[in-house]
Amino acid sequence: MANWVIQLAVQLKPLLQRLRESQCSGSYLQADETRMQVLKEKGKTAQSQKWMWVTRGGPPSQFSVLFEYDPSRAQGVADRLLQGFSGVLQADAYAGYASISKQQCVTRIGCWDHARRKFVEVVRANARVDARQARKLGRSKAEEALGYIRKLYRIETHIKDRTVEERYRVRQELALPELTSFRTWLEAETGKVMKGSKTRQAMDYILNQWPELIGYCQRGDLHISNALAENAIRPFAVGRKAWLFADTRRGAEASATWYSIIETAKANNLEPLSYIRHVLDHIATADTPAKIDALLPWNVAAN
């Protein structure tokens, strides 16, 4: 049965290639990656970490969520996956995406969820001290920073159902002044926090990533965080707890194909099993580019 799934994934490669081309023709992509274990990978031990990459985006109303297995987390993988893409790329601070901005017409923006998470971890650690000591310590720098970040997220909650133009206008009027106040506070307070501490690391992270973190204000269609890409990769992470590992590279690549098909169907409001049946019924006779295009989820939905 595993071999059937792998062999079917091979037949879907032309469809996946068209999905990749369509995705890279858009102007806004989100990217993330997560670890996975593959037991039989040439040049790698069974225990070594390999990677499942995910990219989400594409032209309006033609969204795709594409998974790609690679044993490496090197920047060459990101370069290959995003070949031909020009626009805005949203990801965490991982350096593997850095070369894309230099080699292609790509603008990097950051993720406020990653920045916020670092302060949340500090607050949770502080909460483990007894109540008397907590009162003595007063409000921590991490809690103050989270206060600034909450204001940014409240603005996003308020404008989430507005048009792209309105979101851009509100960000310019409300979010940018809040960001300026936050940076002023960070520059004044960071030097007062001990180097090497978790709080200092969180503050330094934001200051070092500042141009990328404020990038979402450049356009109304951009998001404050990379949460949608993280949500897209979550089904894979949850499934990994059950199946634990892939035996071979072919199995890992087949997993990437089927997760791509299922999550892309969901992103286009298609019932995944029905879409898979439709693709399997027609893929054998899809011997021209036009027939392959007819199997793209947004074209299936239109019919």
For the residues 214-243, what does the mean pLDDT come to? 91
Share of the chain above pLDDT 90, in %: 73
Residues whose CB falls within 8 Å of the CB of residue 163, separated by 6 or more in sequence, listed in order = 220
Nearest to 17 by CA among 277, 248, 296: 296
Asked if the model's pLDDT at residue 98 lies above 80, the reply is no
Give the tens place of pLDDT for each residue, 138-192.
468 999 999 999 999 999 999 999 999 999 999 999 999 999 999 999 999 999 9
Q: What is the mean pLDDT of the chain?
A: 91
Task: Give the separation between CA 147 and CA 156, rounded to whole angstroms.
Answer: 15
The type of residue at 210 is W
Query: What's the pLDDT band for 43 if we cut at 50, 70, 90?
Result: confident
Question: What is the predicted pLDDT for the residue at 40?
Answer: 92
Question: What is the predicted pLDDT for the residue at 97?
Answer: 81
Question: What is the predicted pLDDT for the residue at 139?
Answer: 64
Neighbours of 80 (CB within 10 A): 11
Question: What is the predicted pLDDT for the residue at 47?
Answer: 87
Nearest to 283 by CA among 15, 22, 3, 67: 15
Asked if the model's pLDDT at residue 243 lies above 90, the reply is no
Query: What's the pLDDT band for 277 if we cut at 50, 70, 90?
Result: very high
Question: What is the predicted pLDDT for the residue at 104?
Answer: 67
For the residues 227-244, what does the mean pLDDT come to? 88
The token pair at 72 is 């490496």
Question: What is the predicted pLDDT for the residue at 264?
Answer: 96
For the residues 272-282, what does the mean pLDDT come to? 96
Asked if the model's pLDDT at residue 294 lies above 90, the reply is yes
Asked if the model's pLDDT at residue 103 lies above 90, the reply is no
Give the tens place of pLDDT for each residue, 196-217.
999 999 999 999 999 999 999 9
Question: What is the predicted pLDDT for the residue at 272?
Answer: 96
Q: Tell me which of 60-64, 132-136, 150-154 is least confident.
A: 132-136
Task: Give the separation between CA 242 and CA 237, rounded to whole angstroms.
Answer: 9
The token pair at 173 is 């009027």
More confident residue, 131 or 79: 79
